[in-house]
């Protein structure tokens, strides 16, 4: 049982490049989430998906897009990366009313 799997684990981008962070869960959870965590800070919600086919903005959505491809997969896209998007990105999934399970994180550096 893999839980929540994120790829890649590390990425370096040049300013203006685009990339997609992948997330997949095998727990049949309805809700999925993308967070970013800056050094020494808490988690900030970027986007979330309450169920397959729906997505909603979180606290810091600017500069990002998401796709809930199916129940298992929720991807995060940076269309034109900026240095301010240097961060650690976490994907999570949960069943309504219960705890969340997190991936290992993607460490993204934009130079």
**Site residues for other proteins per CB under 8 A:** 4, 31, 33, 35, 37, 40-43, 45, 48, 50, 56, 58-59, 88, 90, 92, 94, 96-105
Q: How many Cβ atoms from other residues are within 10 Å of residue 50's Cβ?
A: 14
Closer residue to other proteins (CB): 19 or 100: 100
Nearer to other proteins, 11 or 17 (CB): 11
Provide the minimum distance between the beta carbon of 95 and other proteins in the complex, in angstroms, as a whole number.
Answer: 11
To the nearest 10°, report the CA torsion of 30, 73, 82, 12: 130
| Cβ proximity to other proteins, 14 vs 39, nearer residue | 39
Considering the complex, what minimum distance in angstroms separates the CB of residue 9 from other proteins?
A: 11
Classified as helix, coil or strand, 38 is: coil
Q: Residue 76's closest CA among 84, 67, 85?
A: 67
Q: Which is nearer to other proteins, 13 or 94 (CB)?
A: 94
Cα separation, 83 vs 95, whole angstroms: 34
Token pair listed for 10: 């590390």
Q: How far is the CB of 11 from other proteins (least distance, A)?
A: 15
Q: How far is the CB of 91 from other proteins (least distance, A)?
A: 9
Distance CA(60)–CA(48), nearest Å, equals 11
């Amino acid at each position: 049982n893999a839980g929540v799997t994120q790829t890649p684990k590390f990425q370096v981008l040049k300013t203006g490049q685009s990339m997609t962070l992948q997330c997949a869960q095998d727990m049949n959870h309805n809700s999925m989430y993308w967070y970013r965590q800056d050094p020494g800070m808490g988690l900030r919600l970027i986007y979330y998906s309450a169920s397959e086919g729906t997505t909603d903005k979180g606290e810091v959505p600017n500069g990002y897009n998401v796709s809930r491809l199916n129940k298992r997969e929720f991807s995060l896209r940076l269309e034109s990366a900026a240095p301010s998007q240097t961060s650690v990105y976490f994907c999570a999934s949960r069943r309504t009313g219960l705890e969340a399970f997190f991936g290992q994180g993607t460490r993204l550096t934009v130079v």
